[in-house]
């Protein structure tokens, strides 16, 4: 759950979210959406890409949240402190929700595993 302007928004990573994510992030081949939107976008989530994180919020938020309201809120977090602590805390909270989501938890764990394996390979080189 996230709170924006004293209003709570539940982030629901269910089948409805998965369908919307497939439309937004899915792989298109010859005009056919091959789906796989969540795994394809997960590395951007892991890299704290704010635009992708905002897309996830918009697709999952109950009740509905507008981009304008979310953009204004996130912009305020960006300006709130010099070290970015407020924005980082917000991103980390959203990532915790993604980590536990019904349709997002396995792709999240897979992305963590890929990052860890990449770090191990980099250390050996």
* CA 106 remoteness from chain centre: 14
pLDDT tens for each residue of 77-104: 999 988 889 999 999 999 999 999 999 9
pLDDT, position 34: 81
pLDDT tens for each residue of 20-29: 999 999 988 8
- Per DSSP, what are the bridge partners of residue 28? 33
Host domain of residue 83: 2-124
pLDDT band at 125 (very low <50, low <70, confident <90, very high): confident
Tell me, what DSSP letter sits at residue 14? S
User: How many domains in the chain?
Assistant: 1
pLDDT band at 30 (very low <50, low <70, confident <90, very high): confident
Q: Classify 56 as helix, strand or coil.
A: helix
d(CA 72, CA 32): 35
Lookup: tokens for 62: 């109950």
pTM above 0.85, yes or no: yes
């Amino acid at each position: 759950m996230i709170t924006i302007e004293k209003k709570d928004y539940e982030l629901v990573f269910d089948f409805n979210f998965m369908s919307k994510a497939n439309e937004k992030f899915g792989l298109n081949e010859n005009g056919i959406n091959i789906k796989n939107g969540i795994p394809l976008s997960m590395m951007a989530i892991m890299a704290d890409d704010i635009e992708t994180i905002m897309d996830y919020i918009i697709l999952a938020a109950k009740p509905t949240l507008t981009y304008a309201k979310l953009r204004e809120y996130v912009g305020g977090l960006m300006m709130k402190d010099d070290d970015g602590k407020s924005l980082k805390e917000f991103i980390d909270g959203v990532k915790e929700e993604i980590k536990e989501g019904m349709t997002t938890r396995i792709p999240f764990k897979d992305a963590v595993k890929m990052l860890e394996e990449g770090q191990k390979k980099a250390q050996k080189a």
